[in-house]
Structure 1
């Protein structure tokens, strides 16, 4: 992930870095991200409010719909870190410049991830941009469409020690079993680390004293 984001920062086109950094650092669905408006972002509280999803099966710039999320759990507020806040602020400044430059044709609809004259970036373009960036990576591995960033975010949450309920709330899973299935699939490495930590702890402060084995000798 670090390598990919570095390559994206160096080789990415307009909006690429912010898009993929947002997916990587929030775990939100691609449709949720593309539907975001500036009113959904609170710089003071460092939160993003997710209340809608972007639907555009034909990948036409003006043929999209903003729908309510599939489940109530998908409507949520998530925290973001200072680094992502700084990226959003920088993008807001750049977007304001674009609005002024294109003011005669710019139809402001308040979208964060707006292309050119206001319309949200289409999903197909995200896939194509990801494929372009992957060509710059020296990684012999197939990376599936942008939804894979959601799985990566989940695995990093687990590595950081987040609980199942916390992960469910952040990802907006309606069914705890969906979270549990991902959790079970990804916890092998943390379990190994936990076992290692326990072993190291007992070496420093033994729970079991030294045991001497005696065999009764025959007289």
Structure 2
């Protein structure tokens, strides 16, 4: 996903007022702010969110296919992630309307949302914002990861821990300079070099 599309989506998601039927969109907002996996966000409980410190703790994941809570993908995936204040505020407002549920995104007797519902909501949102609906919610994770890795002041070890990777080499292999448009300058240099 381009940085431009990501910013357009994130701006909408961070500034939207969520109704009770929009859990899927709020999940997208949290993913776009943390780079967490879809199942990790669906599996959040209220006790995992520290509203004062603006943090959330990933301790479990929801398997949409099996419809059950499971352990995280790896031991390294158990982690604490900082939250931007706007998303902490959104979660606080959500909590005011869902104070009795254990899971943040529980849909009362219907249980937790399916990943397919979140994917559908994301495609609908992309169309609404004039973006070709080709991105999955996992694209948000990839984009956040790419943006973080591109920051020279952030050590890849820190980014790896934030993403819940088992080691930094995975982060480097998959996310080092993968944003569309990042290779334009290098392409020009390569073409000029080959053309000599």
TM normalised by structure 2 equals: 0.78
Question: How much is the aligned-residue C-alpha RMSD, in angstroms?
Answer: 2.7
* 1:165-211 superposed Cα distances (whole Å, 9 cap, x missing partner): 11100001003221011343438849x7xxxxxxxxxxxxxxxxxxx
- Decide which of 68, 73, 84 is 1:70's aligned counterpart: 73
Instruction: Name the CA distance, whole Å, in 1 between partners of 2:25 and 2:161.
Output: 25
Contact 2:150 2:177 in 1 (8 A): no
CA–CA distance in 2 between the matches of 1:10 and 1:42?
21
State the Cα deviation string for residues 120-163 of structure 1 (Å, max 9, x = none).
111111111112122213234621x2111101111221344322
Shift, 1:118, TM fit:
6.2
In the alignment, the residues of structure 2 paired with residue 10 and residue 81 of structure 1 have an alpha-carbon distance, to the nearest angstrom, of 16
- The answer to whether the Cα contact below 8 Å between 2:146 and 2:176 also exists between their aligned partners in 1 is no
1:77-156 alignment, distance < 5 Å: 77-96=80-99, 108=101, 110-117=102-109, 119-140=111-132, 142-143=134-135, 145-156=136-147
2:148 aligns to what? Answer: 157
Question: Normalised by the size of structure 1, how large is the TM-score?
Answer: 0.70
Larger Rg: 1
Deviates more, 1:130-139 or 1:67-76: 130-139
- Aligned to 1:54, the other structure's residue is in SS state strand
Deviations 1:13-42 (A, max 9, x none): 522442111000100000100000001111
Residues 127 and 93 of structure 1, relative CA distance in 2, 3 Å threshold: same
State the alpha-carbon separation in 2 of the partners of residues 4 and 183 from structure 1.
Answer: 20
| Structure 2 unaligned blocks of 5 or more | 1-5, 186-196
User: How far apart are residue 49 of structure 1 and its match?
Assistant: 1.0
Gaps of 5+ in 1: 59-63, 100-107, 193-219
How many residue pairs get aligned? The number is 175
SS at match of 1:57: coil
2:30 corresponds to 1:25: no
